[in-house]
Amino acid sequence: MYIRPLIHKCYRYINYNRHKHQLPISAQLQKTIAQFVCTEDEAFTIEYEGGFDVVIGNPPYGAKLDEDEKLYVSSKYVTFSQNQDIYSPFYQKANSIISQNGIFGLITPVSWQTGEKYFSLRNYLKENVRLLIAIKLPYNVFADAYVDTGIYIYDKKNNNTNYISRVFEYPVNFLSLNDIDTTAKFSNLENSIWEHFDNLNLVLNPSYYKLDKLLNNDVLRVSEISKTIRGILPNEGAVVNIQSKDNHKSIL
């Protein structure tokens, strides 16, 4: 919506650059130029509609959208409707542009796996794609991103509704991430194990589901008697030092 005019402008610049700078005409060069210069209509014509074989992305997250932008994205992507987190529709978009036998891989926050407001995203993924590989990365793997992130690889869902995903969770304070092939100890997770839960919560440790089954036999859930929320994540700017008579007190 916003990028297309810029693409048109870029195209026009490239197409008419020689005229702009009054460069001399070269017959040999004109033959070469003719091989890759096209009309504006041709430039925006999709010649192949089969989709990409591979799509790889690291979508943005935490972006602040205005109300018009939220309405627009919500109208296009059901995966955005509940959480309104900008990375969510990238899953839907990636699936829509791969070929029937293509795959896509994204690095995103892990919040969609169990977050209540991400149910529409989980449901879309359940209905449309197969999770091939999922890796929850260490908390500090990206120095400038204070959020849990994961790598997720999918392909399109076929007639076989049962499949097995290869999954692994790194410890929170894992010290080195030089080679995922040798440090990730994958486990098998059957999709039927997590897809039968009403909330479709996805946990990458298969032992969780075994414990969940045991713990849910005639027990009182903490959620039935309490409510929990995530606390504030402080930084240096949130701490204020106030001088008192004898000492300093740090106030958050």
CATH at 117: 3.40.50.150
Residue 131 falls inside a structural domain: yes
Residue 217 falls inside a structural domain: yes
Residue 208 falls inside a structural domain: yes
Residue 229 falls inside a structural domain: no
**23 shares its domain with 85:** no
pLDDT value at residue 152: 98
pLDDT band at 10; cut points 50, 70, 90: low
**103 shares its domain with 217:** yes
Residue 123 falls inside a structural domain: yes
**208 shares its domain with 147:** yes
**68 shares its domain with 189:** yes
**125 shares its domain with 94:** yes
**105 shares its domain with 192:** yes
Q: How many domains does the chain have?
A: 2
User: Average pLDDT of the chain?
Assistant: 81
pLDDT in tens, 47-65: 667 788 999 999 988 888 8
**25 shares its domain with 60:** no
pLDDT in tens, 99-116: 999 999 999 999 999 999
Mean of pLDDT values over 63-79: 91
Residue 10 falls inside a structural domain: yes
**206 shares its domain with 170:** yes
pLDDT value at residue 81: 85
Residue 154: count of CB within 10 angstroms of its CB: 24
Query: What is the distance between the alpha carbons of residues 136 and 205, in angstroms, rounded to a whole number?
Result: 10
pLDDT band at 1; cut points 50, 70, 90: very low
Mean of pLDDT values over 144-155: 88
Mean of pLDDT values over 174-193: 79
pLDDT value at residue 183: 74
Buried b (16+ CB within 10 A) or exposed e, 56-83: eeebebeeeeeeeeeeebbeebebbbbb
Question: Is the model more confident about 113 or about 43?
Answer: 113
**191 shares its domain with 86:** yes
pLDDT value at residue 178: 65
pLDDT value at residue 107: 95
CB hemisphere CA count around 180 (13 angstroms): 14
Expressed as residue numbers, the domain containing 124 is 53-224
Residue 243 falls inside a structural domain: no
**18 shares its domain with 99:** no
Percent share of the chain, pLDDT over 70:
71
pLDDT in tens, 211-249: 887 777 777 878 888 988 877 777 776 666 666 666 666
**138 shares its domain with 216:** yes
Residue 88 falls inside a structural domain: yes
**15 shares its domain with 68:** no
Long-range contacts of residues 74-81, Cβ cutoff 8 Å, at least 24 apart: 78/120, 78/124, 79/120, 79/121, 79/124, 81/120
pLDDT greater than 70 at residue 176: no
Mean of pLDDT values over 74-81: 92
